[in-house]
Amino acid sequence: MAIERTFSIIKPDAVERNLIGDILKMIEESGLKVKAMKMIHMDRAQAEGFYAVHKERPFFGELVDYMISGPVVVSCLEGENAIKAYRELMGATNPADAAEGTIRKRFAVNLQNNSCHGSDGPDTAKTEVAYFFNDDELVG
């Protein structure tokens, strides 16, 4: 099995409802290790850059407004097949479709306010980790 790194955001809806600990507990109990972590409050340019791949989508403006509406917790997670493992732990993007026992089934409010983000592939994971962390911050 390949040891991979992935990138995670605990989003504003979850931070606002004091769910950081609950979500981290699910992440750690799944066997993923936290390599790096910090709380940040993104500005508009930072959120637009992070979600640039979605900039032509109709939900882009609202997504950016939401992502800068409050602080988030960004992290780099490491483990066996971390990218897929974390996506499975999060569940489907829309909580209405998320499986029992997933983060989004338990905590997400709706399709946009869906409590967490995880990279969707190896290239994205690399870019997203580097967007928020320098190499010397990956201390875990």
Could you give the residue numbers annotated as active site? 117
Does position 23 interact with ligand CMP (CB under 6 A)? The reply is no
DSSP 48-112: HHHTGGGTTSTTHHHHHHHHTSS-EEEEEEEEETHHHHHHHHH--SSGGGPPTTSHHHHH--SSS
Chain residue at closest Cβ approach to ligand CMP: 117
By C-beta, is 44 or 54 nearer to ligand CMP? 54
Q: Binding to ligand CMP by residue 131, rule CB under 6 A?
A: no
Question: Which residue of 10, 26, 47, 63 would you call a contact of ligand CMP, by CB under 6 A?
Answer: 63
Site residues for ligand CMP, 76-115, by CB under 6 A, read 93, 111-112, 114
Q: Which residue do the tokens 């992935």 mark?
A: 6
Q: Output 54 or 55, the one with its CB closest to ligand CMP.
A: 54
Q: How far is CA 31 from CA 3, 52, 62, 79, in A?
A: 12, 31, 33, 7
Residues at the site binding ligand CMP, with contacts judged by CB under 6 A: 54, 59, 63, 93, 111-112, 114, 117
